[in-house]
A and B are shown apart, each in its own frame.
Chain A
């Protein structure tokens, strides 16, 4: 069966520090991968998506970047965190082809920038 792992679950980082959040998927190949962010009191916003290794598309200009070094690994990074980067970050995957419309989300990382 397919599973998605995301870590860490919670993170408190000072302003200006770097960030690395990792997401891995098991049990499938060539998935579409996504990073979403939920700011306090707001819905989820798509940050990045990837349809293959090394292929990253950004949805919104921001202080963050994403990388996909392996087929089932998706990393969210920042060189210098801002206070506005605080939020709940979710990784998700979906099949890249076929009739399935299912999206599976990780358990999320709650990031607090202080």
Chain B
């Protein structure tokens, strides 16, 4: 079975400071992992994905995530937060069945203070 745990339901940072959104996963197989962002009243947008290539994955808008198998973690980071980064972020693990569906974490709401 696959599962994903986002350790913080809410994170607040000041503009210009680093962002860290934590994610731990559980998977019986080598997982594919994703981070999606959802801005208010909008659909989901893919930030980045890990599919067993480089363990440090760079995404859009300056975000990156590092796959650490020993820690079963896939934390999302950004060196300097912008006001436009305020949104909800979902860590996602891909389920390895014929239907190729995704298991979502419960989400982390990122607030950026001016």
A residues sitting closer than 8 Å to B (CB atoms) are 6, 9, 32, 34, 36, 42-46, 49, 51, 57, 59, 90, 92, 94, 96, 101-108, 110
Complex CA gap A49/B42 in Å reads: 21
A51 CB contact (under 8 Å) in B36, B99, B104, B105: B99
The answer to whether B43 and A43 have CB atoms under 8 Å apart is no
The answer to whether A101 and B101 have CB atoms under 8 Å apart is no
B46 CB contact (under 8 Å) in A43, A44, A102, A106: A102
B residues sitting closer than 8 Å to A (CB atoms) are 6, 32, 34, 36, 41-46, 49, 51, 90, 94, 98-107
Contacts A34-B101, A49-B101, A51-B99 given; indicate if A42 touches B106 (C-beta within 8 A): yes
The answer to whether B90 and A46 have CB atoms under 8 Å apart is no
Contacts A51-B98, A51-B99 given; indicate if A44 touches B104 (C-beta within 8 A): yes
Q: Which has the most chain A C-beta neighbours within 10 Å: B6, B42, B43, B46? A: B43
Least distance between B62 CB and chain A CB atoms (Å): 20
Q: Which has the most chain A C-beta neighbours within 10 Å: B6, B44, B49, B104? A: B44
Contacts A43-B90, A101-B32 given; indicate if A57 touches B99 (C-beta within 8 A): yes
Complex CA gap A40/B107 in Å reads: 11
Closest A residue to B50 using CB positions: A101
The answer to whether A102 and B49 have CB atoms under 8 Å apart is yes
- Residues of chain B within 8 A (CB-CB) of A45 are 104
- Residues of chain B within 8 A (CB-CB) of A103 are 34, 46, 102
Closest A residue to B95 using CB positions: A46
